[in-house]
């Protein structure tokens, strides 16, 4: 069982060589007395020719059989320029069936007609499709590139525990009942945050890990309960040095995997500017269509929606969809309005600019001077479509217009989908206020250090305290982010206090952690990249599922193994836990 | 906050240069008006001199303070040849205290007097000790070497899920209650076994992963509930090719990490020979002291212990402890007897060989001819100590003598502790029979393929069916192992049947897996290495805890975070589970 070559490597210069190949039957064609088989392995396809002598012995062979074939490489009479091995074929002199195959439930080829559900269930066949196999291999290439870069920068790969302590702040933990300490639970890590900080206290200076992380959240759209994070932390480096390192890492990945040179340094945009221009902290910067702040411009316009928003200290923002007025019917504009409503806006106001002025339901509220001011503010010309959202809440205005902007960018094909536009978002607020809970939450996490200039605001003016935190954004996705961390106990206590934690809670939940700061903790910071997302974007995939070998489905099930499953009562007894009565009957799914 | 050099790199050729260093105060000495501080970072130590101008400003500085120091490199008057930077010192021209430190609860130096418990609790300080820091860095070097080797051999790193399905066969699973599917549980993987086999069915051909694995077993001696496995699987390779790859991997690690060239190919020993010669399937081959099979030799000796063992189809084996008879008092021999009893032997018989014949309690049972035969069989000379164990169970004889042999090897210093002696153990039995359960268990796991020659024995003669399985052994430790795997449904069903699984159990537990074999599964096999153990042995550590940054203690607790811990009832409610009544009061620890 030895092969001389793989199925992707034979070329015209191999003609005349005797070779042995192994692979799966991708396609079989009878041409009169001759049989052609495309043999497939992870490297590619090679055409095998079974002449009359052998053709009859191929009768039972079907797709997905595994064959070992020995023969001579010959030049093809009709070459296939779309196939790397298309100049040659192998003339069989001997072959054996290594294994047989039933008719597979999906078509094992790039183009398959199977449903997502069937593909997920037979994932091991889905993964045979070259398009998907290449995505998994590209992911491995990304990982290799990361190892090379960080090893080369003197970072130490260190593993941190997966059986952790549960910390209620943040997303919901997956729990693991302890058998030895019955009634107690481990939690799977949402990130190695605290351990990586301890490693800095330990003096490792430069740490990284490609770590699995777990969040038991409801799986909206494209989330996974377990995901992989490239986790990087370093001591004694200022933010410029950390960003420099982060972007050189990304540049190496782009070069190694896509052969694209990205220009460094990446540009930086403050969180405030991103919100103002794009309404979102992960803007897709491949196209314009920027938001315009109209608070001043429309302050005296007698339109109730604008007025009530501004009177409540709210906001009015607009987008100029240039040259599209004539392409947007009432129906299409209404569809945009629906997007606005999905993001909690009360509605979407609009105007079409014509050579004669403006038209649209709210045109009547503008006098000439107000209109001039508006058109100037929005740089509006004839055939522009102007969209407006007003609300007392800044985030509602931003969310709604950002969603509309992303929708239009895609629909109007305002960008080349094969471009990669990276940037840093910096100067995030430390906190965001939850009116529902009446308290502040950490925008990144409670261990983020405020900007040096804002250190004193942490308790006195938390709403305006900026964090020394940053995100790296690509094409409208957050690839990752990080921050400088707090490294003294007093400041950490203040940060907890700003979040409304009692002294008792700080001690019981984080005492072990803040204690570490007493013994010579170095200034430190770092970042994490979402590996699944990086792989998804670099393979130009629509879903994280394409770059995870065995993903969970949207109801957190593994479609291959059908996990999670019920377990024996004896197993639960050993753990000292029981499933509550009625739970199994009323299972949510 | 920028340094020009680290604390391990300044040499005589840097003299005259102005440098900036950052590090922890490892030692501070006052010499009259001058203060010397050894500054430590992960790279080493550098001596800093604070002359009179600066010495007074160092008054408050204590060990583990972090300093940034700028000064000029000068040649030392009294050089320290034990320190790589011992030729120079840095004459301070400016310094700042980056952070202060309380008196640490342990001495942060290679030699520390703190208890294991204190060191574990303050692990972040323990990890500052250079000896431990170097072990963690060596572990990272091993991982780097593994990545380089396997990437170079065209293996693809692929991640498999951590939220899996529970399979009751094997060790105890850690369970993770599902919130979405209440009453159902995920299990953390004991190994990626089934997924890596599916990846072979998917055609990836060469896969690897450095995977965390979990076993909820009682932690004897030196085990961890989570451990790391280098997991390698490949298709279309015979066992010779797999072993060749495995040993080249190990050789590269040894070269990269220890700069030791190990000779390839490694020798191979059958499981049967290992048991006969060493009484164990992971023999420490750095020394002789081999077991001698005496079944034939003593068959007519009228000693009840031997007789009854042999009559019950049992075994008698001996060890010749050469030239040690005069060094072993009755008391010392009794201590060996205690070891034998610990391994369930009824006792240890012994003889001392003298110039005049033999002495010892069982001498009287041998007639002259029997004695000659014995001395010849054991190659015994004057002053040799002969030890015997007899039992009706082969494994009791083996276990007891293997333990005594390992004990003697260490006690008598029969080997150089800095040598590394690798070998493969091959031809394991497929099954071992449990008299307690009245059934066979898989010696490796139920997916192991029998040797080609024994394929038909799997059901007809399971006791003598050999597996195409192998372990790699170093200095008496199993570093890892693997096998060829079953890749057809029929044989897999037979293997399950041999283990006494019902058809129903096979379908419900493994149906999803064996189904995959129907669609063109390639011949495949692989191996896994225990990374923690490799790191432990290569760093010549006594415990796995030395090479894991944050290990659990022997009661499965994380001494730093105190995990596992209790959680809110609300968290359990969401999962549909409850801690059983009485469990929390009667907690086992």
Query: Of A489-493, B174-178, B269-273, which range is least confident?
Result: A489-493
Residue A439 near residue A407 (C-beta atoms within 8 A): no
Scanning B221-250 for CB atoms below 8 A from A yields 225-226, 228, 236-238
Q: What is the total residue count of chain B?
A: 589
Above 90 in pLDDT, residue A220?
no
List the single residue in B65, B203, B563 with the smallest CB-CB distance to A163.
Answer: B563
pLDDT in tens, A67-88: 999 999 999 999 999 999 999 9
Q: Give me the helices (H) in A56-114, please.
A: none
Q: Do B579 and A519 touch (CB under 8 A)?
A: no
Cis peptide before A564 (omega within 30 of 0): yes
The mean per-residue pLDDT over the stretch B537-541 comes to 97
Cis peptide before B265 (omega within 30 of 0): yes
Q: With cut-offs at 50, 70 and 90, classify the pLDDT of residue B588.
A: very low
pLDDT in tens, A11-43: 999 999 999 999 999 999 999 899 999 999 999
Residues of chain B in contact with residue A137, where contact means CB-CB under 8 angstroms, are: 156
What CA–CA distance (Å, rounded) separates A89 from A76? 6
| pLDDT for res A93 | 97
**CATH 3.30.930.10 in chain B, residues?**
115-260+528-589
Domain B12-99 sits in CATH 2.60.40.1930: no
Q: Is B589 on the interface with A (CB under 8 A)?
A: yes
The mean per-residue pLDDT over the stretch A249-277 comes to 98
Q: Which residue has better confidence, B294 or A586? A: B294
Q: With cut-offs at 50, 70 and 90, classify the pLDDT of residue B586.
A: low
CA B28 → CA A171, A210, B89, B202, distances in Å?
Answer: 46, 39, 14, 61
Residues of chain B in contact with residue A101, where contact means CB-CB under 8 angstroms, are: 518-520
* Burial of B419 from C-beta contacts in 10 A (0-12 / 13-18 / 19+): exposed
User: Which one, of B419, B401, B415, lies nearest residue B540 by Cα?
Assistant: B419
Q: Do B184 and A576 touch (CB under 8 A)?
A: no
Above 50 in pLDDT, residue B201?
yes
The mean per-residue pLDDT over the stretch B174-202 comes to 96
**CATH 3.30.930.10 in chain A, residues?**
133-163+190-269+422-547
The mean per-residue pLDDT over the stretch A171-188 comes to 95
What CA–CA distance (Å, rounded) separates B357 from B363? 9
* Burial of A438 from C-beta contacts in 10 A (0-12 / 13-18 / 19+): exposed
| pLDDT for res B138 | 98
Above 80 in pLDDT, residue B479?
yes
User: Which one, of B225, B217, B212, B205, lies nearest residue B155 by Cα?
Assistant: B205
Above 60 in pLDDT, residue B587?
no
* Burial of B360 from C-beta contacts in 10 A (0-12 / 13-18 / 19+): middle
Structure tokens at A530: 């979402």
Above 90 in pLDDT, residue A434?
no
Residue B555 near residue A180 (C-beta atoms within 8 A): yes
Helix, strand and coil in chain B, % to nearest 5: 30, 25, 40
The mean per-residue pLDDT over the stretch B487-503 comes to 93
Above 70 in pLDDT, residue B250?
yes
The mean per-residue pLDDT over the stretch A543-555 comes to 95
List the single residue in B165, B562, B583 with the smallest CB-CB distance to A558.
Answer: B165
What CA–CA distance (Å, rounded) separates A123 from B160? 13
pLDDT in tens, B17-40: 999 999 999 999 999 899 999 999
Min Cα distance A1 → chain B (Å) is: 6
pLDDT in tens, B524-534: 999 999 999 99
B532 known ligand binder: yes
Residue A245 near residue A239 (C-beta atoms within 8 A): no
What CA–CA distance (Å, rounded) separates A20 from B103? 70
Q: With cut-offs at 50, 70 and 90, classify the pLDDT of residue A145.
A: very high
The H or E element spanning position A152 is: helix A130-152
**Dihedral of the alpha carbons of A518, A519, A525, A526, in degrees to the nearest 10:** -120
Q: Which residue has better confidence, B218 or A11? A: A11
Q: Which residue has the tokens 């005492």?
A: A511
pLDDT in tens, B128-183: 999 999 999 999 999 999 999 999 999 999 999 999 999 877 789 999 999 999 99
| pLDDT for res B223 | 87
The mean per-residue pLDDT over the stretch A345-370 comes to 94
Q: Is B306 on the interface with A (CB under 8 A)?
A: no
The mean per-residue pLDDT over the stretch B194-202 comes to 97
What CA–CA distance (Å, rounded) separates A455 from A444? 16
Q: Which residue has the tokens 């015979």?
A: B238
| pLDDT for res B156 | 98
State chain B's mean pLDDT as an integer.
Answer: 95
**CATH 3.30.1360.30 in chain B, residues?**
287-411
Q: Is B62 on the interface with A (CB under 8 A)?
A: no
Q: With cut-offs at 50, 70 and 90, classify the pLDDT of residue B249.
A: very high
Furthest CA-CA distance within chain B: 91
Share of chain B above pLDDT 70, in %: 99
What CA–CA distance (Å, rounded) separates B380 from B373? 10
What CA–CA distance (Å, rounded) separates A213 from A232? 14
Angle (deg, nearest 10), helices B394-411 and B330-342? 130
Q: Do B550 and A195 touch (CB under 8 A)?
A: yes
Domain B115-260+528-589 sits in CATH 3.30.930.10: yes
The mean per-residue pLDDT over the stretch B40-54 comes to 96
Share of chain A above pLDDT 70, in %: 99
| Per-residue 3-state assignment (H helix, E strand, C coil) for B79-106 | CCCCCCCCCEEEEEEEEEEEECECCCCC
Residue A179 near residue B216 (C-beta atoms within 8 A): yes
Above 60 in pLDDT, residue B259?
yes
| pLDDT for res B73 | 98
Supply the CATH classification number for the domain A133-163+190-269+422-547: 3.30.930.10
- Return the number of CB contacts < 8 Å for A and B: 367
What is this structure's pTM?
0.95
Above 50 in pLDDT, residue A91?
yes
The mean per-residue pLDDT over the stretch A511-537 comes to 97
A216 known ligand binder: yes
State chain A's mean pLDDT as an integer.
Answer: 95
Residue B22 near residue B65 (C-beta atoms within 8 A): no
Q: Do B140 and A158 touch (CB under 8 A)?
A: yes
Scanning A486-545 for CB atoms below 8 A from B yields 487-488, 512-513, 516, 518-523
**CATH 2.40.50.140 in chain B, residues?**
12-99
Q: With cut-offs at 50, 70 and 90, classify the pLDDT of residue B585.
A: low
pLDDT in tens, B351-400: 999 998 899 999 999 999 999 999 999 999 999 999 999 999 999 999 99
* Burial of A109 from C-beta contacts in 10 A (0-12 / 13-18 / 19+): middle
Angle (deg, nearest 10), helices B531-538 and B130-152? 120
The mean per-residue pLDDT over the stretch B182-201 comes to 96
| pLDDT for res A399 | 97
What CA–CA distance (Å, rounded) separates A232 from A200? 11
Q: With cut-offs at 50, 70 and 90, classify the pLDDT of residue A222.
A: confident
Q: Which residue has the tokens 């050469």?
A: B322
What CA–CA distance (Å, rounded) separates A246 from A149? 10
B220 known ligand binder: no
CA A118 → CA A104, A111, A113, A114, A124, distances in Å?
Answer: 11, 14, 10, 6, 11
Q: Which residue has better confidence, A356 or B577? A: B577
Q: Which residue has the tokens 């004839």?
A: A382
Q: Which CATH number applies to A287-411: 3.30.70.2660, 1.10.3720.10, 3.30.1360.30, 3.40.50.1970?
A: 3.30.1360.30
Q: Do B124 and A516 touch (CB under 8 A)?
A: yes
Min Cα distance B303 → chain A (Å) is: 47
The mean per-residue pLDDT over the stretch B437-442 comes to 89
| pLDDT for res B589 | 42
DSSP state of A78: S
- Report CA torsion sign: B120, B124, B125, B127: positive
Residues of chain A in contact with residue B563, where contact means CB-CB under 8 angstroms, are: 161, 163-166, 186-187
List the single residue in B163, B176, B522 with the smallest CB-CB distance to A66.
Answer: B522
| pLDDT for res B219 | 72
At B582, is the secondary structure helix, strand, or coil? Answer: coil
- Report the DSSP beta bridge partners of residue A316: A390
Structure tokens at B139: 């572990």
Residue A162 near residue B230 (C-beta atoms within 8 A): no
B533 known ligand binder: yes
The mean per-residue pLDDT over the stretch A195-202 comes to 98
What CA–CA distance (Å, rounded) separates B417 from B401? 21
What CA–CA distance (Å, rounded) separates A82 from A84? 7
């Amino acid at each position: 069982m030895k092969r001389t070559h793989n199925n992707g490597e034979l070329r015209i210069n191999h003609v005349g060589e005797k070779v042995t190949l192994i692979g799966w039957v991708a396609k079989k064609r009878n041409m009169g007395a001759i049989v052609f088989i495309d043999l497939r392995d992870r490297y590619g396809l090679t055409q095998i020719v079974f002449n009359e002598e052998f053709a009859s012995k191929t009768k039972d062979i079907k797709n997905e059989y595994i064959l070992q074939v020995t023969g001579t490489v010959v030049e093809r009479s009709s070459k296939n320029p779309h196939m790397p091995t298309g100049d040659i074929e192998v003339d069989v002199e001997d072959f054996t069936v290594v294994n047989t195959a039933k008719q597979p439930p999906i078509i094992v080829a790039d183009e398959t007609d199977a449903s997502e559900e069937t593909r997920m269930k037979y994932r091991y066949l889905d993964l045979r499709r070259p398009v998907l196999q290449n995505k998994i291999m590209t992911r491995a290439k990304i990982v290799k590139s990361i190892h090379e870069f960080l090893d080369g920068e003197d970072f130490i790969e260190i593993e941190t525990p997966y059986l952790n302590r549960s910390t209620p702040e943040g997303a919901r933990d997956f729990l693991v009942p302890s058998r030895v300490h019955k009634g107690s639970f481990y939690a799977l890590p949402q990130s190695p945050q605290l351990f990586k900080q301890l490693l800095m206290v330990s003096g490792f200076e430069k740490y990284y890990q490609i770590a699995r992380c777990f969040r038991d959240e409801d799986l909206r759209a494209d989330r996974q309960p377990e995901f992989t994070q490239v986790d990087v932390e370093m001591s004694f480096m200022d933010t410029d040095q950390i960003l420099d390192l982060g972007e050189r890492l990304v540049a190496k990945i782009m070069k190694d995997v896509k052969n694209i040179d990205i220009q460094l340094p990446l540009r930086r945009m403050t969180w405030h500017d991103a919100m103002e221009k794009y309404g979102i902290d992960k803007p897709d910067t491949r196209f314009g269509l920027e938001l315009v702040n109209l608070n001043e411009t429309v302050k005296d316009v007698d339109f109730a929606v604008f007025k009530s928003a501004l009177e409540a200290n709210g906001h009015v923002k607009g987008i100029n969809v240039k040259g599209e007025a004539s392409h947007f019917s009432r129906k299409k504009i209404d569809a945009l309005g629906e997007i606005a409503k999905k993001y909690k806006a009360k509605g979407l106001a609009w105007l079409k600019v014509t050579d004669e002025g403006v038209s649209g339901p709210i045109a009547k509220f503008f006098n000439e001077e107000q209109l001039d001011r508006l058109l100037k503010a929005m740089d509006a010309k004839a055939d522009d479509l102007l969209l407006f959202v007003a609300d007392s809440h800044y985030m509602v205005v931003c969310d709604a217009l950002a969603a509309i902007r992303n929708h239009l960018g895609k629909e109007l094909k305002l960008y080349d989908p094969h471009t990669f536009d990276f940037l840093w978002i910096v100067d995030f607020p430390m906190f965001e206020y939850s009116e529902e809970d009446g308290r502040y939450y950490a925008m990144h996490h409670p261990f983020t250090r405020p900007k040096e200039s804002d250190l004193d605001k942490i308790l006195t003016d938390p709403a305006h305290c900026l964090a020394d935190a940053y995100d790296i954004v690509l094409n409208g996705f957050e690839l990752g982010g990080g921050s400088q961390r707090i490294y003294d106990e007093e400041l950490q206590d203040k940060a907890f206090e700003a979040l409304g934690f009692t002294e008792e809670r700080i001690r019981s939940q984080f005492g072990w952690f803040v204690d570490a700061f007493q013994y010579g903790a170095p200034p430190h910071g770092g970042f994490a990249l979402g590996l699944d997302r990086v792989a998804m974007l670099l393979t130009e995939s629509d879903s994280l599922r394409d770059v995870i070998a065995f993903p969970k489905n949207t109801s957190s099930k593994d479609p291959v193994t059908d996990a999670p499953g019920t377990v024996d009562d004896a197993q639960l007894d050993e753990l000292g836990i029981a499933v509550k009565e009625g739970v199994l009957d009323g299972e949510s799914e």
